[in-house]
């Protein structure tokens, strides 16, 4: 009875809110420019999405209702709420179908699904475990073990989930033997998951990132750029991603720790027995087929096929696009020096990433299936079944993508970005904008536990804002774009409800709360350096190749000041 009462109250409040919204919009003067007509109401759809994400922690529900509210606003003609709700729902469905029917969007979703299938096949063939074991055998000190974990995390660059579920379980016994805390292992695994996948040019992330970038620059009329080209240019300005990866190396080499991590490391060094039982619940990850001979080639060949195939597809796509275009300078470059550095860069920048990645993922899928069947690890039926099973783990990504694209479309129709730019362009100091974008992205991502949803909500607003306040300065807008991507990853890295944070805890069998409490100190420390040594200087024109070395020095000095060295005793036969 109590639950029914709560549902009734929610429905009643929602109807009243929609009626009030209808009344407000009906009283507004007609204007062809929705940004002028709706005014402050243009902020309502993204605020609904953000606010509900904070409250419910449900990204899909929040994005869905954000899209619905936007469509409701566009459908208001009178005070007939029932008619408006029905029309809004129909328009929402049409918006989602339109996004799905777009060739670019379809290619992005398909490549994500196929990469998920490849990952599962590699795991079932034992390739992922064999590759990880080859690293683990060479680690015989806490320094080496942490560095090998870091290196292995870089190797599993194509997916953050795969990173957490492959690196953690393989390195955990080695770390236990060497008396390195589970908390430190979980931190290294987590810090090489999303931060690596977010900047890798071949990953399950790049599709979303490129599509959002392309849509954002298209909305400001920058038609002479490509999403992939801008993506490449943002990489040097991904200050948080770069600094957190370098911080792992500095901490591993110096053995300096601070905050709760220092206590965890000290306790681990002082324990007399290897930790046998974890406080964290186990995770039933995909395991290799029993009884097979493990071989690193079962991982190297499919991954190499994916990487090399994607690079070739990227180049060919861009090469043919340039030759079919009207830029005579680029056409001449492709005819005279197609394999020069500039030629390769221009070809990659002009490529259609959705098609190229789909082609590469399809080729890698075929190679992986053929290997599994040819080595008699799986039958053809089982191989295809496992491939499809891997796709199922990525389906949620496709749902988020469709709703994200739909939200971007509806807030574009109601003029949210135009209104926001008009209000803020004269009231925010120019050098603060990238930092503001970074912090806002971090807050949204921390509250929702998803970098995907945060990028989807914030990117359609950040690019027009950066473009407007800088009067079309491409370099400044690229820094703002980077702020969205890295801010989302920083917040996701700290969030206790983030999927990668949870998977990192489970994969390393580390108590989840302990992982969050120890990691957040390091993440915030690095984020502060990213802001004060990265985004603020970059916003006033300091080159990235100056910001990054200075940031490394500041991290080293800061760690020595805040931290304390946690020594260790040599452990023989660490990997036995």
Domain count, the chain: 1
Give phi and psi for 565, each to the nearest 5. -70, 135
Instruction: Identify the band that residue 560 occupies on the pLDDT scale cut at 50, 70 and 90.
Output: very high
Helix runs in 470-532, H state only: 474-494, 499-507, 512-529
- CA 43 to each of CA 36, 39, 509, 554: distance values in angstroms, whole numbers, following the listed order: 12, 8, 42, 39
**Phi-psi label, residue 259: left if phi above 0, alpha if psi -120 to 50, beta otherwise:** left
| Within-domain flag for 50 | yes
Q: Whole-model pTM?
A: 0.71
Rounded to whole angstroms, the Cα distance separating 431 from 476 reads: 9
Predicted pLDDT of residue 169: 72
Is the pLDDT at 565 greater than 80? The verdict is: yes
Please compute the mean of the pLDDT values over residues 169-189 and round it to a whole number.
86
Predicted pLDDT of residue 42: 83
Predicted pLDDT of residue 277: 40
Angle at 285 between CA 187 and CA 267, to 5 degrees: 35
Rounded to whole angstroms, the Cα distance separating 231 from 235 reads: 7
Predicted pLDDT of residue 57: 65
Contact indicator for 236, 545 with CB cutoff of 8 Å: yes
Element (H, E) at 173: helix 160-177
- Spatial CB neighbours of 99, under 8 Å, sequence gap ≥ 6: 105, 402, 405, 406, 409
Give pLDDT tens digits for 224-256.
788 888 999 999 999 999 999 999 999 999 999
Task: Name 564's bridge partners.
Answer: 257
Six-digit token string for 361: 């993922």
> Percentage of the chain with pLDDT > 90?
24
Six-digit token string for 261: 């991590």
Instruction: Identify the band that residue 426 occupies on the pLDDT scale cut at 50, 70 and 90.
Output: low
Q: Can you spell out the DSSP letters for 378-418? A: S-HHHHHHHHHHHHHTTHHHHHHHHHHHHHHHHHHHHTHHH
| Within-domain flag for 35 | yes
- Spatial CB neighbours of 163, under 8 Å, sequence gap ≥ 6: 153, 156, 157, 189, 192, 193, 196, 197
Six-digit token string for 203: 């990953």
Give pLDDT tens digits for 255-313.
999 999 999 998 888 876 544 444 444 434 567 777 788 888 988 898 889 878 887 88
- Of 339 and 57, which is predicted with more confidence? 339
| Within-domain flag for 371 | no
Please compute the mean of the pLDDT values over residues 475-482 and round it to a whole number.
94
Please compute the mean of the pLDDT values over residues 86-113 and round it to a whole number.
85
| Within-domain flag for 138 | no
Q: Can you spell out the DSSP letters for 427-461? A: TS-GGGHHHHHHHHHHHHHHHHS-HHHHHHHHHHH
Six-digit token string for 26: 């009906």
Six-digit token string for 75: 């459908």
| Within-domain flag for 329 | no
> 27-31, 320-324, 331-335, 510-514 — which is least confidently predicted?
27-31
Is the pLDDT at 45 greater than 80? The verdict is: yes
Is the pLDDT at 457 greater than 70? The verdict is: yes
Is the pLDDT at 427 greater than 70? The verdict is: no
Predicted pLDDT of residue 538: 95
Task: Tell me which residue range forms the domain holding 73.
Answer: 1-101
Predicted pLDDT of residue 10: 65
Sign of CA dihedral 356, 359, 365, 367: negative
- Of 380 and 13, which is predicted with more confidence? 380
Is the pLDDT at 506 greater than 90? The verdict is: no
Is the pLDDT at 15 greater than 80? The verdict is: no
Predicted pLDDT of residue 187: 95
Please compute the mean of the pLDDT values over residues 141-167 and round it to a whole number.
82
Contact indicator for 351, 384 with CB cutoff of 8 Å: no
Predicted pLDDT of residue 556: 96
Instruction: Identify the band that residue 4 occupies on the pLDDT scale cut at 50, 70 and 90.
Output: low
Is the pLDDT at 449 greater than 80? The verdict is: no
Predicted pLDDT of residue 146: 92
As to burial, measured by CB atoms within 10 angstroms (0-12 exposed, 13-18 middle, 19+ buried), residue 350 is: buried
Averaging pLDDT over each range in 21-35, 92-106, 513-527, which range is the top one?
A: 513-527
The whole-chain average pLDDT of the chain stands at 83
Is the pLDDT at 562 greater than 80? The verdict is: yes
- Of 84 and 129, which is predicted with more confidence? 84
Element (H, E) at 273: none
- Of 163 and 99, which is predicted with more confidence? 99
Please compute the mean of the pLDDT values over residues 471-491 and round it to a whole number.
92
| Within-domain flag for 47 | yes
| Within-domain flag for 571 | no
| Within-domain flag for 116 | no
> 264-278, 334-348, 429-443 — which is least confidently predicted?
264-278
Please compute the mean of the pLDDT values over residues 336-358 and round it to a whole number.
80
Give pLDDT tens digits for 206-220.
777 888 898 888 888
Please compute the mean of the pLDDT values over residues 478-489 and round it to a whole number.
94
The tokens 């490129």 sit on which residue? 210
Please compute the mean of the pLDDT values over residues 60-64 and round it to a whole number.
82
Please compute the mean of the pLDDT values over residues 177-193 and round it to a whole number.
91
Give pLDDT tens digits for 393-405.
777 767 877 887 7
């Amino acid at each position: 009875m109590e639950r029914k009462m709560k549902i009734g109250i929610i429905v009643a409040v929602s109807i009243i809110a929609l009626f009030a919204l209808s009344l407000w919009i009906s009283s507004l003067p007609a204007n062809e420019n929705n940004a002028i007509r709706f005014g402050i109401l243009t902020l309502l759809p993204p605020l609904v999405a953000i606010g509900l994400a904070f409250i419910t922690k449900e990204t899909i529900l929040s994005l869905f209702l954000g899209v619905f509210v936007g469509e409701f606003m566009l459908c208001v003609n009178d005070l007939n709420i029932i008619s408006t709700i029905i029309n809004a729902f129909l328009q929402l469905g049409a918006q989602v179908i339109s996004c799905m029917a777009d060739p670019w969007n379809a290619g992005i979703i398909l490549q994500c699904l196929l990469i998920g299938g490849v990952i599962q096949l590699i795991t079932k063939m034992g390739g992922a475990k064999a590759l990880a074991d080859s690293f683990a055998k060479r680690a015989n000190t806490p320094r080496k073990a942490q560095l090998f974990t870091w290196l292995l995390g870089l190797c599993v660059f194509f997916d953050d989930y795969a990173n957490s579920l492959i690196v953690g379980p393989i390195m955990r016994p080695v770390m236990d033997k060497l008396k390195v805390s589970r908390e430190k292992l979980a931190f290294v695994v987590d810090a090489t998951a999303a931060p690596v996948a977010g900047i890798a040019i071949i990953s399950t992330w790049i599709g979303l990132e490129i599509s959002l970038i392309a849509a954002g620059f298209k909305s400001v009329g920058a038609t002479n750029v490509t999403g992939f080209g801008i993506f490449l240019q943002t990489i040097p300005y991904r200050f948080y991603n770069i600094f957190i990866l370098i911080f792992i190396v500095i901490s591993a080499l110096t053995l300096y720790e601070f905050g709760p991590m220092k206590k965890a490391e000290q306790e681990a060094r002082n324990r007399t027995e290897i930790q046998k039982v974890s406080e964290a619940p186990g995770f039933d990850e995909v395991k290799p087929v029993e009884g097979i001979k493990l071989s690193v080639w079962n991982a190297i060949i499919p991954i190499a096929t994916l990487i090399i195939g994607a690079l070739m597809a990227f180049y060919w796509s861009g090469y043919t696009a340039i030759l079919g275009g009207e830029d005579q300078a680029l056409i001449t470059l492709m005819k005279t020096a197609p394999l020069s550095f500039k030629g390769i860069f221009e070809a990659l920048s002009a490529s259609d990433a959705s098609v190229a990645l789909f082609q590469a993922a399809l080729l890698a899928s075929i190679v992986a299936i053929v290997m599994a069947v040819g080595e008699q690890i799986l039958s053809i039926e089982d191989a295809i079944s496992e491939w499809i099973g891997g796709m199922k783990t990525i389906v949620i990504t496709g749902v988020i993508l469709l709703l994200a694209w739909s939200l971007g479309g509806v807030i574009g129709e109601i003029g949210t970005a135009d209104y926001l730019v008009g209000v803020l362009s004269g009231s925010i100091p120019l050098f603060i904008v990238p930092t503001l974008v970074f912090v806002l992205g971090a807050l949204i991502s921390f509250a929702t536990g998803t970098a995907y949803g945060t990028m989807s909500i914030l990117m359609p607003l950040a690019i027009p804002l950066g473009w407007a306040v800088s009067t079309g300065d491409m370099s400044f807008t690229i820094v703002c774009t980077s702020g969205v991507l890295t801010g989302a990853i920083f917040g996701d890295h700290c969030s206790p409800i983030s999927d990668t944070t949870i998977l990192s805890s489970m994969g390393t069998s580390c108590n989840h709360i302990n992982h969050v409490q120890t990691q957040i100190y390091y993440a915030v420390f690095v984020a502060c350096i990213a802001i004060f040594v990265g985004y603020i200087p970059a916003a006033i024109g300091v080159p990235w190749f100056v910001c990054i070395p200075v940031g490394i020095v500041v991290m080293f000095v800061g760690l020595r000041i805040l931290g304390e060295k946690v020594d260790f005793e040599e452990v023989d036969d660490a990997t036995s």
